Amino acid sequence: MNLKQKVMTLDEFTIQELRNYPGATGQLSGLLRDIGLAAKRVNVEVNKAGIADILGEAGKTNVQGESVKKLDVFANEQFINSLETSIYCCGVASEENEHFIPFTDEHSKKSKYVVLMDPLDGSSNIDVNVSIGTIFSVYRRLSPEGTECELEDFLQPGTQQIAAGYIIYGSSTMMVYATRRSVQGFTLDPSIGEFCMSHPNLKCPPDSDIFSVNVGYYHLYEQNIRHSIDHFMARNENDRIYRHRFVGCMVAEIHRTLIQGGIFMYPAFGKYLSGRLRLCYECNPMSFIMEKAGGVAMATGKQRLLELKPAQLHQRVPIFIGSKNMMETWKDIVNK
């Protein structure tokens, strides 16, 4: 162990960024620290889920009509409470709530930013101890500062994001966030209770041999999508070209893709003719992160996902995202 090695915490890094940009107000840095604090609280409960009364169903459904897990409810409350007590956020929209929540105190109304979030992605994995996560994105409000935020503040195309990130609760807990300058990764050190810099200036490898898609719905996908899956599932004389992975948690899929490269696909199918994943809470933030790391994110073979203008908070879209060169191969196939 190198005792002279400097380990930079999330707080120290955000303060350093303020020093590098003298004109910065510090609101975004403070907001990221507040999100990190809520993530640490959720992490504590995730780690003791097997012995606490937070496993299983909460006995109700969310606005999507999906069964809500007890830990979903806890995570949603923690992030909303942390952001509401902050002075850096004027409102939040959550996948778990039908409507956005404006913060009405005078300090919050003067803040610049709104936050959209999926407080606990992959919650169907909770009871079987598979990785889950939190996804968030930050936008500069369109409504006048000093007033309550409005719906249009949340319905901006992904190109307007100021920052986006995720927290993955797995074998270790990591917070990865992107600004318009870079993508940074921090790992939670449980001995000091701080997120510490572990993956500076993350870049997605341009090539990989990993593809991820739910092949259980193969026959429900459009023909050109099936053709692209056929390409990635093809075998050569060594019995394989690509490896297939599918976790069932977008945070886990994107984290692997960001670190190891690859392509993740969640096409439209069956009753989800407009796609299944949410544009505002899942697809926009993950696409922003991937693009800032050198990858590509598409809604169709010709439509850049970040350019979509949301029509409603809970809008769903298809998503195809990953390493630059693999995405170029995918686009060539589906556009034939």
- Annotated binding-site residue numbers for substrate: 121-124, 214
Helix (H, G, I), strand (E, B) or coil at 147: coil
In this structure, what are the phi and psi dihedrals at residue 187, rounded to the nearest 5 degrees? Answer: -110, 135
The answer to whether 313 touches 155, Cβ cutoff 8 Å, is yes
For residue 237, what is the DSSP state? Answer: T
Q: Do the bridges between strand 277-278 and strand 316-317 make them parallel or antiparallel, or are there none, so unpaired?
A: antiparallel
The tokens of 1 are what? 């162990």
- Backbone Cα Rg of the chain: 20
| Burial (CB count within 10 angstroms: exposed 0-12, middle 13-18, buried 19+), residue 156 | buried
The CA dihedral of 106, 108, 109, 113, to the nearest 10 degrees, is: 160
Helix residue ranges, H only, the chain: 10-20, 27-47, 70-85, 106-109, 151-154, 223-233, 250-260, 284-292, 324-334
The DSSP result for 56-78, as a single string, is SEEEEE-TTSPEEEHHHHHHHHH
For residue 283, what is the DSSP state? Answer: I
Q: Which of 153, 75, 79 is nearest to 111 (CA)?
A: 153
Please count the other Cβ atoms lying within 10 Å of the Cβ belonging to residue 336.
9
For the annotated binding site, the residues are: 95, 118, 120-124, 214, 282
**Residue labelled with tokens 């995570």:** 75
For the annotated binding site for Mg(2+), the residues are: 95, 118, 120-121, 282
- Amino acid (1-letter code) at residue 257: T
In this structure, what are the phi and psi dihedrals at residue 305, rounded to the nearest 5 degrees? Answer: -65, -40
